[in-house]
Amino acid sequence: MTTYLANSPEYNFSLSHLPFTSFITMKVQGLMEGTDFRKNTLEMFEQLKKFNLNKVLVDCYEMKYISYNDCTWLEEEFLPYATSNGFQAVSFIKPSEPHARVCIENVMLSKAGNQMKAAWFEKPAEAKEWIEQVSF
């Protein structure tokens, strides 16, 4: 298993890829915003390219907050760049925090729905099953 970790007192962030899987798992806990949010999201995309993958399972159940500026960055900059460079599917474990849930859902459903396959799940097993089986 390959793992990338970034931690601070405010957040925990990890990326992992298990051998013989077709996706990367990204886990976000706590409050991560601005430069840290963008740096770690771009690192996720670099890991996709490194392993020649195009799918991500995002576990943001314990994410506390995402700023409006970060939502805008995802929608206007990151997603167009990533999808034009091979990012094709994302499976989310919904955040428990209402603000984080609404922001991420709005960005991903409005933008990702047009450019990539995206799905939302309450249960991690369902999110994993979907990302393993999604095809293009």
**37-73 confidence digits (pLDDT tens):** 899 999 999 999 999 999 999 999 999 888 889 888 9
Tell me the one-letter amino acid at 27.
Answer: K
**105-134 confidence digits (pLDDT tens):** 777 676 655 778 888 899 999 999 999 999
Confidence bin at 99 (pLDDT 50/70/90): confident
Residues 6+ apart with CB under 8 A from 22: 53, 55, 131, 132
What is the predicted pLDDT for the residue at 47?
93
Give me the domains of the chain, ranges plus CATH numbers: 2-133 (3.30.750.24)
Higher pLDDT, 24 or 5: 24
Tell whether the model's pLDDT for residue 100 goes beyond 70.
yes
Higher pLDDT, 23 or 101: 23
Please state the rounded mean pLDDT for residues 4-10: 82
What is the predicted pLDDT for the residue at 112?
57
Which CA distances in Å does 19 have to 23, 93, 125, 135? 10, 22, 18, 19
What's the predicted TM-score (pTM) here?
A: 0.90
Residues 6+ apart with CB under 8 A from 97: 63, 64, 65
> Look-up: residue for tokens 């899987």?
21
Average pLDDT score, the chain: 88
What is the predicted pLDDT for the residue at 110?
66
Structure tokens at 111: 């933008």
Which CA distances in Å does 10 have to 26, 31, 80, 101? 17, 5, 28, 18
Tell me the one-letter amino acid at 81.
Answer: Y
